[in-house]
Amino acid sequence: MSLQKLNNDFNVHRSIDCLNLNILKENTNSPPVINKNNRFTKNLLKRRSSNLIADLASIGNHENFYTYELIQQIAQYLLDRTNIRPKIGIICGSGLGNLADVITDSVSFPYHEIPHFPVSTVAGHVGRLVFGYLDGVPIMCMQGRFHYYEGYPLWKCSMPVRVMKLVGVSHLIVTNAAGGLNPKYRAGDIMIMKDHINFLGFAGNNPLQGVNDERFGPRFPAMNRAYNASLRKAAHKIAKEMGIDKFVREGVYAVLGGPNFETIAELRMLRVCGVDAVGMSTVHEVLTAQHCDMKVFAFSLITNKCVMDYESMAEANHEENIDTGLMREGVIKKLVTKVVGHISNHDLAMSSKNP
13 is catalytic: no
The distance of closest approach from Cβ of residue 42 to ligand LQZ7MJT6 in the complex, given in angstroms and rounded to an integer, is 38
Between strands 104-110 and 128-134, the pairing is antiparallel
26 is catalytic: no
Would you say 70 or 255 has its CB closer to ligand HPA? 255
Query: Which one of ligand HPA, ligand LQZ7MJT6, none is in contact with 306 (Cβ closer than 5 to 8 A by kind)?
Result: ligand HPA
Would you say 74 or 122 has its CB closer to ligand LQZ7MJT6? 122
Query: Which one of ligand HPA, ligand LQZ7MJT6, none is in contact with 210 (Cβ closer than 5 to 8 A by kind)?
Result: none
Told to check if 112 binds ligand LQZ7MJT6 by CB under 6 A, we report no
Q: How far apart are CA 18 and CA 73, in angstroms?
A: 20
147 is catalytic: yes
Told to check if 64 binds ligand LQZ7MJT6 by CB under 6 A, we report no
125 is catalytic: yes
Binding range to ligand LQZ7MJT6, per CB under 6 A, among 52-60, 64-72, 264-272, 279-287: 279-287
150 is catalytic: yes
Would you say 318 or 334 has its CB closer to ligand HPA? 318
Angle at 259 between CA 258 and CA 262, to 5 degrees: 60
Largest CA distance in the chain: 64
Residues numbered 194 to 253 that lie near ligand LQZ7MJT6 (CB under 6 A) are none
User: According to CB under 6 A, which one of 147, 165, 295, 305 is a site residue for ligand LQZ7MJT6?
Assistant: 147
Using alpha carbons only, how large is the chain's radius of gyration in Å? 20
Among the listed residues 153, 345, 325, 136, the one whose alpha carbon sits nearest the alpha carbon of residue 231: 345
Q: Do residues 71 and 100 make contact, with C-beta atoms less than 8 angstroms apart? A: no
Query: Which one of ligand HPA, ligand LQZ7MJT6, none is in contact with 179 (Cβ closer than 5 to 8 A by kind)?
Result: ligand HPA
342 is catalytic: no
Q: How far apart are CA 355 and CA 350, in angstroms?
A: 8
| Helix residue spans in 128-281 (DSSP H) | 154-157, 159-167, 199-202, 229-242, 264-272
Residues that bind ligand HPA (CB under 6 A): 177-179, 261-262, 278-280, 303-304, 306, 316, 321
Q: Amino acid identity of 156?
A: K
315 is catalytic: no
Q: Please tell me the count of residues contacting ligand LQZ7MJT6 according to CB under 6 A.
A: 13
Q: What are phi and psi for residue 140, nearest 5 degrees? A: -130, 145
Told to check if 143 binds ligand LQZ7MJT6 by CB under 6 A, we report no
- 106, 170, 281, 300: which one is catalytic? 281
Q: How many Cα atoms sit within 13 Å of 234 on the Cβ side? A: 21
Q: Which residues have CB under 8 Å from 6's CB, separation 6+?
A: 119, 121
Indicate the burial class of 146 (C-beta count within 10 angstroms; 0-12, 13-18, 19 or more): buried
Q: Do residues 145 and 61 make contact, with C-beta atoms less than 8 angstroms apart? A: no
- 75, 100, 164, 177: which one is catalytic? 177
Told to check if 177 binds ligand LQZ7MJT6 by CB under 6 A, we report yes
- 228, 304, 321, 344: which one is catalytic? 304
120 is catalytic: no
The distance of closest approach from Cβ of residue 317 to ligand LQZ7MJT6 in the complex, given in angstroms and rounded to an integer, is 7
- At residue 243, the 3 state secondary structure works out as coil
Helix, strand, coil tally for the chain in percent (to 5): 45, 20, 40
- Sequential DSSP letters for 87-98: SEEEE--TT-GG
Q: Do residues 301 and 328 make contact, with C-beta atoms less than 8 angstroms apart? A: yes
Give the residue numbers annotated as catalytic, written as ranges.
Answer: 94, 125, 147, 149-150, 177, 280-281, 304, 318
Residues that bind ligand LQZ7MJT6 (CB under 6 A): 93-94, 122, 145, 147, 176-177, 258, 279-281, 318, 321
